[in-house]
Amino acid sequence: MSLIIDMLRQSCLKFGDKPAFRSKVAGRWVDYSYRQLWSDSDRIATALANWGLHCGDRAAILAPASPTWVAAYFGIMKADGIVVPIDKELKRGELRHILEDCGARLLFITEDYLETARELLGQLPALEKIILLAPPLTSKVRMPPQAVGALSDLISEWRRLAQDYHIRKEDIRRLEASAESLQKLLTTGVSWAETGSQVHHSLLGRERRKQEDHVIETLDDFQKDGKPPVVTRRPDDPAVILYTSGTTGRSKGAMLSHTNLLSNIRTVTPIFKLDENIRMLSFLPINHVFEQVGGMLLPLSLGGTVSFAESLKKLGDNLGEVKPNFLLGVPAVFRMLLDRLQKNIQSQFLSRTLFSFALTRPLVVRKVREALGGIPTFVSGGAALDPEVAQGLMDLGIVVYQGYGITETSPVISAERPNVRKLGTVGPPLPDVEVRIHEPNEEGIGEIWVKGPNVMLGYYNNPQATAEVLTDGWYHTGDLGRLDGNGILSICGRLKNLIVTANGKNVYPEEVEVELLHSPFIAEAMVYGHKVSNTAEEVYAIIYPNQEALDRYSQEHGLAPMTEKKVEDLIRAEVLKVGKNLADYKRIRKFTLREDEFPKTTTRKIKRYIVEAGIDMQE
């Protein structure tokens, strides 16, 4: 099994009619089999080859997670292309940067991104083709041809009137939005509103595309039956280019080979004793390496089934319906899960009473496990998991294993596992991954360097950036950490974020942020170093208060409405309380309040470079 396509072929041959994916459509779960995935990706590969996609050409995907997204992903690989998955939350400028940087010739999108894609077509010489995705469901609901014709005539007449009578653009947009809403109502049961995909393409959109049929085409029209091309890629060739989420600036494209991606799957599978019975619920961004490898490629390699969550808001409902036995998440989601479970327990007298006594607590724990479908394996990644959240879930019978990885390492470097767990750490390195601490200080803390088959080939089209992070096969992560006597890794923070005080003490902002987030009145926080001289900094913080908690507090204490000064006084008291748990040099000297959430990546990391730029302007 040297290529990702070889892995997929084995699973599709062995598990043909078994559901590879499930999606909620019109209130019911719809299966998408391994056989269907193989045939759909074959048709896409055949079409790509006929169109003229050459070996090593880049094709990008900008769409929400769906079975069609996966079919396009494998179709590109079968056509000898390199896949460039793109974050659907990106703004136009960053989207343009990625498409221009990788030189994508073809872009798969859903209709939500059509206007943006059309604007970019004329600006990016390499971009030649846009394919509109739609979920490949057998139960498509289509409008009768007569209705389609009537609505098409109506649209044409409307456009003529709009032009003849010089109707304002905003009025045109408003009426067309109403028309599209009416079309959706007329074609009941076809909307995938929660995933942003549609089973049909709007007639208005189709009308707009008439002059661009040679460039913009639906997947139904584009894909072709026939024999896909022979794959000539080698294991160490790039399979995907994944652009970093950009917490520190403009994103770079990490080239990951087939060997890189498959190495993680081979080592993680036996650690967690996974097999074809793996049942997952996918809700993280599929363009992100954590979800792409752990939530898509890994279960497909085993013959498992992945259900796509409808949305984060419906995650609780979907958990109860799917009952996954393996789940990937980020710390923010596990904190939300713990809060929800604790609120449910505390809101009922019986469960609250039973949970308060050690003797009867197992009764509540059993109920929690039943609601989740047994004893699932939860794995947290993407950011540091608060040990208190991990312990709180453990008290409810839920074990969350924390892992550590980054895009450039495909992604997993280390992970806790059933026989090796230590709260507050990210476990030992994977068996085939070497980790060393570069230039450790007196506390044993230094930059984490990584070497192994999971380390990227380099950054696409950026040899200078590659040379800065790769030395003799060792990847410089930019993260600070230490290894204990048992080889268990702890993450201390980012090298770039390190604060050095006037006394020469090192402060890791992430450690202080974790303490701040223990306060119920603090929703988000960013700790940073404020320069007081050329060589010294003080610990400052920017805090986004938890408005819901503030509202409850003001009602309970008769303070509604709370003034700005009262909010500031309350947060100051919380900051002082947090300081009691920290060494004096780590305590926050000054803080400011934000009125809105911090800008974040899709994995919920604060984009520090944006916030810090605002601080510099104010100072």
Domain extent for 609: 498-618
Secondary structure class of 52 (helix, strand, coil): coil
Judge whether 504 and 556 are in contact, CB under 8 Å. no
In a domain, 515, yes or no: yes
List of E strands, 215-278: 216-218, 238-243, 253-257
As a whole number, the mean pLDDT across the chain is 87
Distance from C-alpha of 295 to C-alpha of 413, rounded to nearest angstrom: 16
The pLDDT of residue 407 is 94
Higher-pLDDT residue of 556, 516: 516
Q: Residue 153 pLDDT more than 80?
A: no
Statement to judge: residues 524 and 479 lie in one domain:
no
In a domain, 154, yes or no: no
Distance from C-alpha of 184 to C-alpha of 187, rounded to nearest angstrom: 5
Higher-pLDDT residue of 213, 409: 409
* CA dist list (Å): 28 to 31, 107, 186, 373, 454: 10, 30, 19, 19, 38
Which residue from 63, 70, 65 is spatially nearest to 116, judged by alpha carbons?
63
Residue 194: band (very low, low, confident or very high) from pLDDT cuts 50, 70, 90: very low
Statement to judge: residues 503 and 486 lie in one domain:
no
Higher-pLDDT residue of 387, 183: 387
Interhelix angle for 387-395 vs 331-346, to 10°? 40
> Which residue type sits at 251?
S
The pLDDT of residue 59 is 98
Quote the distance between the C-alpha of residue 530 and its chain's center.
31
Name the domain count of the chain: 3
The pLDDT of residue 171 is 75
For the stretch 216-267, pLDDT in tens is 999 999 999 999 999 999 999 999 999 986 555 578 999 999 999 999 999 9
In a domain, 347, yes or no: yes
Distance from C-alpha of 48 to C-alpha of 313, rounded to nearest angstrom: 37
The pLDDT of residue 605 is 82
Statement to judge: residues 428 and 562 lie in one domain:
no
| Mean pLDDT calculated for residue range 188-206 | 41
Highest mean pLDDT among 152-166, 203-217, 324-338, 364-378 belongs to 324-338
Statement to judge: residues 308 and 215 lie in one domain:
no
Distance from C-alpha of 282 to C-alpha of 327, rounded to nearest angstrom: 8
Residue 126: band (very low, low, confident or very high) from pLDDT cuts 50, 70, 90: very high
| Mean pLDDT calculated for residue range 304-326 | 93
Residues 6+ apart with CB under 8 A from 168: none
**Long-range contacts, 559-568 (Cβ 8 Å, 24+):** 567/593, 568/593
| Mean pLDDT calculated for residue range 40-68 | 97
Q: Which H or E element spans position 337?
A: helix 331-346
Where residue 7 sits, what CATH number does that domain have?
Answer: 3.40.50.980
Which residue from 269, 328, 253 is spatially nearest to 82, judged by alpha carbons?
253
Measured CA angle at 27 (ends 25, 28), to 5 deg:
70
Q: Residue 156 pLDDT more than 50?
A: yes
Dihedral sign computed on CA atoms, order 31, 33, 36, 37: positive
Statement to judge: residues 521 and 447 lie in one domain:
no
Highest mean pLDDT among 214-228, 308-322, 424-438 belongs to 424-438
Total residue length of the chain = 619
Statement to judge: residues 376 and 425 lie in one domain:
yes
Cis peptide before 299 (omega within 30 of 0): no
